[in-house]
Amino acid sequence: MKQRVSAFEAMRYIRTNSLKRLFWLRRSRFDGGFDCQKSPASGSTPSANASDAAVGTEDPQKRPIWKCFSYEEIYVATDGFSSERLVGKGGYAEVYKGVLPDGEEIAVKRLTRALNEERKVKEFLTEIGTIGHVSHPNVLSLLGCCIDNGLYLIFLFSSRGSIASLLHDEKMPTIDWKTRYKIVIGTARGLHYLHKGCPRRIIHRDIKSSNVLLTSDFEPQISDFGLAKWLPSQWTHHSIAPIEGTFGHVAPEYFMHGIVDEKTDVFAFGVFLLEIISGRKPVDGSPQSLHSWARPILKQGGIERLADPRLEGAYDVVQLRTLAFAASLCIRASPTWRPTMNEVLEVMEGERMEVERWSMPEEEEEDQEEFWGFEDLECECDSSFSSSISQEE
């Protein structure tokens, strides 16, 4: 009788140096090389280079090293995982700020003990196996991992934190329009890369402002790949159960049927766009979600009503209308009528809006109207279903 592999056995398998075989870390656009080496403190030699080339955007002369950190290194870097170093906490992980001996600031993501071991291993493998393949300025870079005394992922520290923390913290200064425009363009480029540019077709499944971090110069970086999925190129979509995500961001076809493809992320990006434009949370405790509130405005006109009042009119009107138009396309109820991320970029960066190109037949418009009651289900679904869906704080 075949026995199920235990979490303990899975952990042992990971620890037997199998990480080098499991994860092909494609870092360079031209030579496809990768390095997985022990850091100096742990005294291991680098591994061999991979043979196949990969798509990326980094300078091929700057080949980053993916390290297998020792527990002692990250323990010292975070002052023993001091509560004062805790910078983020979610359903599955805690994030600590650390400083390496050379002064480099890192973020250490520790999978929490609240998870059972099997789920913890799955989350770890999912995220490291996904983000280990990506290399783009607008996607958070993986520095390495640690598999001693738990499971840890190590990233470069994003000094400005998440967009959500800057946008919704009343103690923080208002983000100006120029910076907001830079954020949405960069995020769109990162998401387009995940869909079409990286070695594997990646659906993020949880695009939202709290999962987009900012560097010191306000460059956005998509993070948190715990829900990400690889889709083979020959698949048009993937059916997933249970449904996981965040209220206010989940596309109708995913919420109702569990169908996932690139258009799932496009919908979430549309909500993200509206959040950046308006400064409103996707779900704020009111019966109406952000996209439900914005949709009549997008349809009837008066786009200026979408703008964050804290901007006090200090925004580029043409850019506002362009971004609002892009958002209106992204949050269409039917994925068939949503653009791809490449098309979203074309709309946002285009010199004029090609409204006629994106017009829908009248009967499709009517079907869209009937379909737009799905967000009410988000508030009325039973607890057994909603347990897989997270609520924005």
Count of residues making up the chain: 393
- Start-to-end C-alpha separation, the chain: 46
Could you give the CA distance from residue 225 to residue 90 in angstroms, rounded to a whole number? 13
Does the annotation list 67 as a binding residue? no
The one catalytic residue among 52, 102, 148, 206: 206
Is 284 considered catalytic here? no
Helical (H) or strand (E) element with 203: strand 202-203
Residue 242 preceded by cis peptide, ω within 30: yes
Answer yes or no: are the C-beta atoms of 224 and 282 closer than 8 Å.
no
SS3 content of the chain, % helix, strand, coil (to 5): 40, 15, 45
State the DSSP H helix or E strand holding residue 389, giving kind and residue range, or none if neither.
Answer: strand 389-390
Report how far apart, in Å, the C-alpha atoms of 107 and of each of 115, 129, 156, 329 are. 20, 18, 6, 35
* Letter string b/e over residues 100-137, b meaning 16 or more CB atoms within 10 A of that residue's CB: beeeeebbbbbbeeebeeeebbebbbbbbbbbbbbbbe
Alpha carbon distance 119, 35 (integer Å): 28
Rounded Cα distance between 158 and 262, Å, is: 26
Half-sphere exposure of 302 (CA within 13 A, CB side): 6
- How many other β-carbons are positioned within 10 Å of the β-carbon of residue 206? 23
Supply the residues annotated as catalytic: 206
Binding site, annotated residues for ATP: 109
Binding site, annotated residues: 109
